[in-house]
Structure 1
């Protein structure tokens, strides 16, 4: 699946699910299917944390989740693992500040989607110059998903970026739930990235549905 322009990407980023096997109370494939039924619009495979799959197990799970996304026309991207993304023919990758440079990644993946986690104006400008397609910004609210997560900053930085005239698509991440997703959109984000609020929910479908409703109400 290819997104032809920035408008299509903004639309796709509305409700952005991130998960891997360590984040799920149920089988990842079942969680993803339910979340798609609920209305997620974008998916990132992030296989990290205690007990995370490696090698062939990681590849096989990625392939299974990618197929589900393809069947439902949901963009499928891979967190950090450029080799895996290339092997799968994924729709793109998401990288952090400690990962391979965006210039290097762009050379390797061509015109696929590249998302970059940014935490400052300087990082943002560098990412734009390197060819980023969208920013992941956070943590907005407290989160336990990443052991090394930075201090939550609320929506301030998103608001500042928009006031500075930075127009690149932005998704907020970190502690986002159906109760606070709207505030992230009001601040200027195009979408919200969600992990445990959906992946560990009793009903991923209903939570995804509620988040989608609140996001669209404030766009």
Structure 2
């Protein structure tokens, strides 16, 4: 799987989707050209996430786009996702590999160079680094004032695996994250809460690509 090609990465958030369902947001983002979808939806129950995950898996399969599940290795397996994204306090990368298989994509969140190096050594396939900019989202780890693109550059220099910037990113500030060396950007509210999620996705993708 070409993780280096993940320019625009949607992170779902059922409670921050302007009254829309997660499948509705995902459908719009796929039309807008999103490269990968992460099912997060932490505010919903495990059963709800499972049922939503099955629907989103159908959507991403049809679009030929990878599906990643946040935190829950069991849920990733249950919906036949392409992989899982783990936080620093989640189960280790090795456990994800054991449960999901060696071909599964395993991403890890990091906000420091040391954390990034440790995740790479543990066998992570890519890193979600942030929060790049200040964000009020409780779904994004890191400094609420933002670690800045300088930290992105430092992490990129320190590791060999792809880095995806996350946190407070939209079409207006996505380009500097990629200019700092990130493969792409992960976006939550700038897509899920947008008046037009399809147009918002396309604008972010254009900013990153250009």
Query: Normalising by the residue count of structure 2, what TM-score does the alignment of the two structures yield?
Result: 0.93
Q: Which residue of 1 aligns with 2:208?
A: 215
Alpha-carbon spacing, 1:27–1:86, altered in 2? closer, same or farther (3 Å): same
Q: Which residue of 2 aligns with 1:45?
A: 39
Moved more, 63-72 or 17-26: 17-26
Q: Which residue of 2 aligns with 1:55?
A: 46
- Structure 2 distance, partners of 1:147, 1:120, is 18
Query: Normalising by the residue count of structure 1, what TM-score does the alignment of the two structures yield?
Result: 0.90
Q: Which residue of 1 aligns with 2:108?
A: 116
Contact 2:57–2:80, Cα closer than 8 Å, also in 1: no
Deviation at 1:57, TM superposition (A): 1.9
Gaps of 5+ in 2: none
Aligned length: 206
- Structure 2 distance, partners of 1:147, 1:191, is 19
Deviation at 1:186, TM superposition (A): 0.2
Residues 145-164 of structure 1 mapped to structure 2, 5 A cutoff = 145-146=137-138, 149-151=141-143, 152-164=146-158
Of 133, 158, 176, 1:141 maps to 133
Deviation at 1:47, TM superposition (A): 1.7
Gaps of 5+ in 1: none
Structure 1 stretches of 4+ with a deviation exceeding 6 A read none
Deviation at 1:53, TM superposition (A): 1.9
Q: Secondary structure at the match of 1:16?
A: strand
Measured on the aligned residues, the alpha-carbon RMSD in Å equals: 1.4
Moved more, 146-155 or 173-182: 146-155
